[in-house]
């Protein structure tokens, strides 16, 4: 029996439970317009019904499953942690990813709040390094917590010499 697990421990902190609503809202933001477009086409245009019919049916089954399953799955996976010398985050659902960046390589630390996030009282912490594909994005944080983490990281980064490349 092969070991299937990536032998990294989960980061310490879960994200806020409200993040489930955020992800559900985002899922609906994809599913509903798609369903709407299909329904309009189905209602107005006879010729496409052989395609839109099964499409709508599939969406009716897969849409709710996606909009409830994905957020719960994400909530089980998404975790984060900062230590004195590194940032560590786990994210994803179907594809899980773990990212680790040394604080000494951090270039910018941002907190971002989109409209949905403001409504739900959430915040996203974005940590970028010099790599074009290296940003660590931790969504679903409590705004105060995110701000504190950002301030702490910026402070440690400021103490570390070097140009981070």
Partner 1 sequence: MSWQRLDARMILADALRVLVSLLPGVLALLLTGFEPEPLAIGPLAGLAVWGVAGAVADVVRWATTRYRITDAYVERRTGLFVRTHRSVRRDRIRSVDTSARLIQRLAGLRRVTIGAGQMNTAMEAAFTLDALSKRDAEALRRRLTGSAPEPSAEPMAAFQWRWIVYNVTGIWALVTAAGLMWGGFWTAASFGLDPGAWLNSLADWEELGPVPTAATAFAAAVLLGGVGRACSFVTEHAHFRLDRIPGEEGGTILRTTQGLFKTREVTRDDRRLRGVTVSEPLLWRWMGMADTTVITTGLSMWSSSVSVLPRGPVRLARRVAAAVIGDPALGTPLRRHPRAALRRRLLWGVLTASAGALLVLPAGSTPGAVAFAVLLPPALGLACAGHLALGHAVAGDYLVVRAGAMTRATSALRRDAVSGVQVRQSLLQWRLGLAGVWAMTAAGEGAYGARDMAAAEAAGFASAALPGYVEQFRAGSLPADRTPLTFSVPGAG
**What residues line the site for partner 1 (CB under 8 A)?**
2-12, 73, 76-77, 81, 83-86, 88, 92, 94-102, 105, 129-134, 136, 164-165
Residue with Cβ nearer partner 1 (9 or 49) = 9
Specify the residue for token string 């010398």: 85
Triad 134, 27, 87: Cα angle to 5°: 25
Smallest distance from the beta carbon of 131 to partner 1, in angstroms?
4
| HSE value, Cβ hemisphere, 13 Å, CA-based, for 90 | 19
Smallest distance from the beta carbon of 107 to partner 1, in angstroms?
9
Smallest distance from the beta carbon of 130 to partner 1, in angstroms?
3
Residue with Cβ nearer partner 1 (99 or 117) = 99
Residue with Cβ nearer partner 1 (22 or 99) = 99
Residue with Cβ nearer partner 1 (43 or 76) = 76
């Amino acid at each position: 029996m092969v070991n299937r697990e990536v032998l990294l421990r989960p980061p310490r902190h879960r994200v806020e439970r409200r993040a489930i609503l955020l992800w559900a809202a985002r899922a609906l933001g994809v599913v509903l317009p798609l369903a709407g477009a299909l329904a309009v086409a189905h209602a107005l245009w006879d010729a496409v019904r052989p395609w839109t019919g099964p499409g709508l049916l599939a969406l009716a089954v897969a849409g709710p499953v996606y909009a409830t399953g994905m957020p719960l799955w994400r909530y089980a996976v998404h975790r984060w942690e900062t230590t004195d010398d590194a940032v560590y985050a786990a994210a994803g659902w179907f594809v899980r990813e773990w990212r680790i960046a040394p604080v000494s390589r951090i270039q910018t630390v941002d907190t971002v709040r989109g409209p949905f996030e403001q409504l739900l009282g959430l915040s996203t912490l974005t940590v970028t390094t010099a790599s074009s594909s290296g940003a660590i994005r931790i969504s679903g944080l409590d705004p105060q917590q995110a701000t504190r983490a950002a301030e702490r990281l910026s402070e440690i980064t400021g103490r570390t010499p070097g140009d981070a490349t």
